[in-house]
Homo-oligomer: A and B are copies of this chain.
Amino acid sequence: MQQCSCGHRAIYFRRYSGQHLCKRCFSRSIFKKFKDTIRINKLIERDDHVVCGVSGGKDSLVLLHMLKDLQSKFQFELSALVIDEGIAGYRDVSLPYVHRACKQLGVPLHTRSFKEAYGYTLDEVTQIEDRLGACSYCGVFRRNILNQASREIGGTKLALGHNLDDESQVILMNMLRGDMGRFGRTGTFYKDVHPKFIPRIKPLREIPEKELVLYAVISGIEFDFEECPYAHEAFRDDVRDFLNDMEQKRPGTKHTLLKTYDKLFPIFNEQFTPESIATCKRCGEPSISTLCKKCEMIDDIKKKKGY
């Protein structure tokens, strides 16, 4: 039987640090990593209004619980925001988890939907126009609503549950497809580039996915285990498999990739100056060009529909 350094029975071996950890020390280490990420990067400041994007999955519900715990340490406001993309058999299953968690924690919940905002559910969009794949439409639409709704709620920060696996996959994917533009938009924190832009924070980005699952289970956080039916993007699957294999062979690889990126980030981020961010002429949201990606996609869908 392996022991934790505190003397209790270890339930987890953290390969990248060589530590055997008991339940309590494991959970403490995760919460500490979350707190340190916020403190070191100054992600939340006193009197911020943090809007936590929640989906019902483990990452976002762990994040919501941790943010609630953090409120006992210092003063900030907390709300939750869920987006109903309109994915039959999936989102309707995860929504009750979100409602229960918010009720239990006493966090006000705000709901938005693709249908309401754009006139189409994601299922409808993919039936009309699937040239780019569901994830492309969903990503653009979701980011758009997250930003707009956070602002309407009065949020000053938008907190997202991206974990180490998500982050390292995106970094490698952007590197392999040469997407330098997106590269600059992956980091922890955005500087203040547009009056309508709510800075995004990712307090879980240094925590591996499997540790978040374990943390949720240990903490008794109920979450939806289902994966989005659209989630299998071949490219991401290949990158995920490769990184998991490398992590297995050389523990710490994902953390290293994130650190490499973080050292480069100030350079990427340089390109996003208030001058480089435009305002969409149609919807008024922050945009890279004169018409934002979301409005462009909506146009395409309407054209395809024939009106």
Residues in chain A within 8 A of chain B (CB atoms): 172, 175-178, 180, 234-235, 238, 242, 245-246, 249-250, 253, 256-257, 259-260, 263-264, 267
Contact = CB atoms under 8 A, between A and B. Distances in A.
A257 B176 contact: yes
A235 B250 contact: yes
The 6 closest A-B pairs by CB, nearest first: A178-B256, A242-B242, A178-B260, A267-B267, A176-B253, A175-B260
Contacts of A180: 260, 263
A260 B267 CA distance: 14
Nearest to A177: B256
Contact of A178 (B242, B245, B249, B257): B257
B246 A176 contact: yes
A238 B234 contact: no
Contacts of A263: 180
A176 B238 contact: no
Q: What copy number does this chain have within its complex?
A: 2
A250 B235 CA distance: 9
Nearest to A270: B267
A36 to B, nearest CB: 19
Contact of A257 (B175, B234, B238, B257): B175
A249 B180 CA distance: 21
B178 A259 contact: yes
Contacts of A260: 175-176, 178, 180
Contacts of A264: 264, 267
A180 B267 CA distance: 14
A189 to B, nearest CB: 20
A290 B37 CA distance: 36
A168 to B, nearest CB: 9
Contacts of A267: 264, 267
A242 B253 CA distance: 15
A136 to B, nearest CB: 16
A176 B256 contact: yes
21 contacts: A172-B175, A175-B175, A175-B260, A176-B250, A176-B253, A176-B256, A176-B257, A176-B260, A177-B250, A177-B253, A177-B256, A178-B256, A178-B257, A178-B259, A178-B260, A180-B263, A235-B250, A238-B242, A238-B245, A238-B246, A267-B267
A170 to B, nearest CB: 13
Nearest to A253: B176
A235 B246 CA distance: 8
A43 to B, nearest CB: 23
Contacts of A253: 176-177
A242 B256 CA distance: 18
Nearest to A183: B260
B249 A234 contact: yes
A179 to B, nearest CB: 8
A235 B259 CA distance: 19
A250 B267 CA distance: 28
